[in-house]
Amino acid sequence: MPDVADAPLPPLTQLSEDEQLLRQSVRDFALAEVRPLVREMDEHAKMSPALIEKLFGLGIMGVEIPEKFGGGGGTFFHSVLVVEELSRVDPSVGVLVDVQNTLVINAILRWGNEDHKSQLLPRLAAKSIGAYGLSEAGSGSDAFALQTRAVERDDEFVINGRKLWITNANEADIFLVFANINPDAGYRGITAFVVERGTPGFTIGKKEDKLGIRASSTCELIFEDCRVPKTAVLGAVGKGYKVAIETLNEGRIGIGAQMLGLAQGALDQAISYTKERKQFGKAISEFQGVQFQLARMAVDVEASRLLVYNAARLRDAGKPFLHEAAMCKIFASEVAERNASQAINLFGGNGFVKEYPVEKLYRDAKIGQIYEGTSNLQLQTIAKQLLGS
C-alpha cells in the first residue's frame, strides 16, 4: 500500500502554471505571427527572417538554456510544448525551433565544456540558429557509416566530406558536425565538432526542393580542408557516437511533438470547416458520420499527446525513456498522416487545393516517418527492448 502521505501524481496532461503560460503565449504567437505567413513561406520555400527574429524575441530559441546565459531556464517538456504549439499552425516553424532546442542546444548543454557553454549558449538564445549535421548520402539509417573525415594536424583538425539533408542549414550560424577521426576504430572514431558558418573550407551546398515542410531549409554541407581548432570538439574525441545517439534519442520526442501539433492542427481545421460548410441544408458537422470521423481524430490526438508527454516527462525525471520516445514518434507521425488525410476528406474538393491549409499538413506529415530515425528504425528499437536483444 502506498504511504498515505504520498502526494498523488498529477495526471500526465495536467500542466503546471508556467507550462500553461508558456503554451498559451506560443499558441497566441502562432496564430498572430505565424499563421498569416504559412502559405507564402510554403510556396516560396523560405522561412521569413522577420519571423525568426520574433521567435528569438519570444524567448523560445533557447528554452533550456540557463538564465545566466540569456535563455529561458526551462525543461525539455517546455521545448515539447513549444514545438507542439508551433507545429499546430506550421510544422516547418516547429522543426526549426525543435532542432535548435532538442538537438543542438541539448547537445551543448550535455556535452559542452564551460567555454562552449559561455561562448555558444548566449548566441543561440539571442540570435544564432543551430543545425545538426550527421546524415550523409550513403549513411542515413546506418548513420555511423559516415564518410566525413577529420585529421589531426598540429593544433587543429581538418575536416573533409559532405553532409546531406541538414535542417536549418540555410539560416544557421552554428553547426554540429560529426566526422570520423579514426575509421579503423569504426564508430569509436566518430567525433562531434562545432563548426561556425564562414569557416574557410566550409560551404553550404544545394538546398532541397521538398514535398513538405518546405519553409524549413534542408541543405548539403560541404567540407573541403576545413580547419577547426581543437577546441571545436564537443565532448571527447571518439565519443561523437554517444553525442549523436543520446541527442537523437531525446530529439525524436521533439519530432513526436511536431507530429502531435500537426495532428491537432488538422483536427482544428476539420472542426471549424465542418461547422461552416453546409450540404443537404445543414452544416456537415451535424451529420453523425462526420462527427464520428472528428471524434476518431480526437482520440488519436489524445493518445499521441499521452505518449509524447510521457516520454518528455520521463526524460526530465531522469528515468529511462528510450522505447517510449520511439513509440511516441512512430505513433504521432502515423496519426499526423491519418488526421491530415481525414481533414482533406472532410474539406472535400477544397481539401485538395492550396487555397485551404490541409493539403499542406498532409505533405508536411510525411517527414515524421523519415527523419530522426525512420519508422522501421523506431520499430527496431521497440522490438529490441521487447525481446531483450
Task: Supply the residues annotated as catalytic.
Answer: 372
* Shortest Cβ 295–ligand FAD spacing (Å): 32
Identify which of residues 124 and 270 has a Cβ nearer to ligand FAD in the complex.
124
| 340/266 Cα distance (integer angstroms) | 5
Q: Count CA within 13 A, CB hemisphere, residue 328.
A: 32
> Which grid cell sits at 203?
560551404
- For 260-283, b where at least 16 C-beta lie within 10 A, e where not — what string? bbbbbbbbebbbebbeebeeeeee
Residue 147 interacts with ligand FAD (CB under 6 A): yes or no: no
Q: Which one of 218, 249, 274, 310 is in contact with ligand FAD (CB under 6 A)?
A: 218
| 200/19 Cα distance (integer angstroms) | 43
In this structure, are strands 156-167 and 149-153 parallel, antiparallel, or unpaired? antiparallel
Identify which of residues 70 and 140 has a Cβ nearer to ligand FAD in the complex.
140
Q: Which one of 135, 249, 264, 381 is in contact with ligand FAD (CB under 6 A)?
A: 135
Q: 13, 275, 40: which is closest to 267 by C-alpha?
A: 275
152 to 171, contacts with ligand FAD by CB under 6 A? 165-167
> Which grid cell sits at 256?
513526436
Residue 206 interacts with ligand FAD (CB under 6 A): yes or no: no
Residue 148 interacts with ligand FAD (CB under 6 A): yes or no: no
Q: Judged by CB under 6 A, which stretch of 9-17, 63-71, 335-343, 371-379 contacts ligand FAD?
A: 371-379
* Shortest Cβ 22–ligand FAD spacing (Å): 25
Identify which of residues 305 and 360 has a Cβ nearer to ligand FAD in the complex.
360
Beta partners for 28?
none
Q: Count CA within 13 A, CB hemisphere, residue 70.
A: 17
Q: Which one of 367, 368, 378, 381 is in contact with ligand FAD (CB under 6 A)?
A: 367
94 to 123, contacts with ligand FAD by CB under 6 A? 99
Per-residue mark of binding to ligand FAD, 3-22 (x: CB under 6 A): --------------------
* Shortest Cβ 333–ligand FAD spacing (Å): 12
Size of the site for ligand FAD (CB under 6 A): 19
Beta strands in the chain (DSSP E): 130-133, 149-153, 156-167, 174-180, 190-196, 202-207, 218-229, 233-234, 278-279, 282-283
Q: Judged by CB under 6 A, which stretch of 60-68, 264-272, 332-340, 365-373 contacts ligand FAD?
A: 365-373
The rounded radius of gyration (Å) of the Cα atoms in the chain is 21
Residue 370 interacts with ligand FAD (CB under 6 A): yes or no: yes
Q: Judged by CB under 6 A, which stretch of 122-130, 264-272, 276-284, 370-378 contacts ligand FAD?
A: 370-378
CA distances to 2, 147, 270 from 5, rounded to whole Å, are 8, 57, 46
Chain positions contacting ligand FAD, by CB under 6 A = 99, 132-135, 140-141, 165-167, 210, 218, 367, 370-372, 374, 376-377
